[in-house]
Amino acid sequence: MIAQHPEHFQNLAASQSPRVMVIACCDSRVDPALLMGAGPGDIFIVRNIANLVPPFERQGKHHGTSAALEYAVNSLKVEHIVVMGHQNCGGIRALMSRQDTACRNDFIDQWMEIASQACERTRLDAGHLPFAAQCAHCERESVNVSLANMLTFPWIKDAVAKRKLQLHGWYYDMEGATMSTWKLKYQITDFEKIG
């Protein structure tokens, strides 16, 4: 690709100006650029386990997803942020399978705690369904948790309130090769509840 389009890549070396940021899972089967038909420089992508966005916090030392959000919103001035969940997410399956809160590994269990609300909601709303259906419900619900968590970041909340930024939830059904999409529904009064 570089050999066929050297001028495009030279322009990209000077700057980037994507209008869209995508928070996606690390799952090797879910590449947002390929699924969106995007080329180099079209989208700003962060990939992590289960496509999660943590709530805003200043404590701690390492906040990769939060730092990427800050850069995308404040420096790149992206106009859209998409949280893209997907079918058969291993992180969500592990969260839904846990019988207790004891951590069994160094990082993953603690990271997945971000989606604990989604797990609780799923058990209330879909606990009667087979386990695979519960996981699918939780995969979508965790996208909503991440969208809500984004509104805890003051500069995201401000950009959304000023209509400079839109937040979107996407869900990729691998077996059906389909994408469901929705926008975060909000009212200015909702910010007071979330923030």
- Percentages helix, strand, coil for the chain, rounded to the nearest 5? 45, 15, 35
Nearest by Cα to 85 from 173, 20, 166, 150: 173
- Percent of all residues in the chain with a pLDDT value above 90, rounded to a whole number: 71
Nearest by Cα to 21 from 177, 132, 153, 136: 153
Q: For residue range 30-64, what is the model confidence (pLDDT) as tens digits? A: 999 999 988 888 999 999 999 999 999 988 777 89
Residue 49 CA to its chain's centroid (Å) = 10
The predicted structure's pLDDT at residue 39: 83
Q: How is 80-97 classified by DSSP, letter by letter?
A: EEEEEEETT-HHHHHHHH
What are the residue ranges spanned by the domains of the chain? 17-55+62-194
Give the C-alpha distances (Å, rounded to integers) separating 78 from 20, 93, 175: 5, 31, 31
Q: Please tell me the pTM assigned to this model.
A: 0.86
Fold that domain 17-55+62-194 belongs to in CATH: Beta-carbonic Anhydrase; Chain A (3.40.1050)
Q: For residue range 100-155, what is the model confidence (pLDDT) as tens digits? A: 656 677 788 889 999 999 999 999 999 999 999 999 999 999 999 999 999 999 99
